[in-house]
Amino acid sequence: MIKRKRKKVIRRKKKGGFFLSFSIFFLIIASSAIGFLFFSPRFQIEDLVIVGNMSIPTEEIETIAGEKIKTSFSLMGIDFVTESIFLSLGNKIEQIKEAMPGIETISIKRNYPSGISLEIVEKTPYAVWSYEDEKYLVDKKGSFIKNTEESGDYDDLIKIDQQEDIDDLDKKSVITSIFLINTELNNQDINILEYNLFNDKLKSLTDKNFFIIFDLKQDISWQVEKLKIVLEKNTQLKDSGNIEYIDLRFDNQTVVKNK
């Protein structure tokens, strides 16, 4: 009798089965954790504290910030809205600043589990800028702060009256030049009542009843130095009452026009 040998059947285990199961398990746990952190009522921002603001009303900041910190998105046709304290707020802060141009910087402090504090630094008004029917405050960077108010007290601010449309106007550069001019004239006991800005010149009306003309496209430091030399050579010149204007736009020359 012939014995038949049985063939051994070797079953190969499917590779990756464990890792696939583990990956699915991990995704479920991670999704649950993310959902808990982002949507749990415990971590939704409820306490919003505003500090540091001086002239901007707290209620106004709270209203805009409360709206901007919300994050909304759609998933499979379902709309979701969250205000989780764990979400990144960097982009939200920029949106708040865009909506409130009077704010210079905003610092965030998270007060877990459901509160944040916003520390506000406001822009400091440096000048009142006028052009046609518009009149508004700007800081030393030439950045817009807000429109002026009829009841506002702006006597201590620089007055800049833009007389015409100016191509590629760099307000920061204009303000920097005016700051340099103003500093030197104050040292000479001359106050500027108003700066009139044109395409080709800056006309400065002084409290001595004459005006000074600068060219903002040339070296302002050199023009200020020329003015200083003229005034120091003739100390009575600025108080004589006989000057109509001093023009500093011509290289090494200084033109003094008498009345």
Which part of the chain has CATH 3.10.20.310? Answer: 43-122
Q: Compute CA 116 distance to the chain's CA centroid, rounded to the nearest angstrom.
A: 22
Q: 87: helix, coil or strand?
A: coil
DSSP per-residue codes, 224-251: HHHHHHHHHH-TTGGGSS-EEEEEEEET
Minimal CA–CA distance to 211: which of 257, 256, 248, 245? 245
* The 134-138 sheet, strands edge to edge: 144-147, 134-138, 127-131, 158-162, 192-197, 202-206, 211-214, 243-250, 253-258
Please give the structure tokens belonging to residue 222.
């050199």
Sign of CA dihedral 183, 185, 189, 194: negative
The pLDDT of residue 69 is above 90: no
Mean residue pLDDT across the chain: 86
Which residues share a beta bridge with 107?
119
- In this structure, the strands spanning 192-197 and 253-258 are unpaired
The pLDDT of residue 239 is above 90: no
The predicted structure's pLDDT at residue 158: 96
Architecture of the CATH domain 43-122: Roll (3.10)
- In this structure, the strands spanning 211-214 and 243-250 are parallel
Greatest Cα pair distance in the chain: 143
Residue 55 pLDDT grade (very low, low, confident, very high; cuts 50, 70, 90): very high
Minimal CA–CA distance to 70: which of 36, 101, 39? 39
* Contact predicate 96/37, CB 8 Å: no
CATH 3.40.50.11690 fits 127-258, yes or no: yes
* Contact predicate 126/175, CB 8 Å: yes
The pLDDT of residue 9 is above 70: no
Q: What angle do CA 108, 40, 23 make, to 5 degrees?
A: 105
Which part of the chain has CATH 3.40.50.11690? Answer: 127-258
The pLDDT of residue 102 is above 80: yes
The pLDDT of residue 161 is above 70: yes
Q: What angle do CA 49, 53, 59 make, to 5 degrees?
A: 55
The pLDDT of residue 39 is above 80: no
pLDDT tens string 203-229 = 999 998 899 999 999 999 999 999 988
* Contact predicate 245/210, CB 8 Å: yes
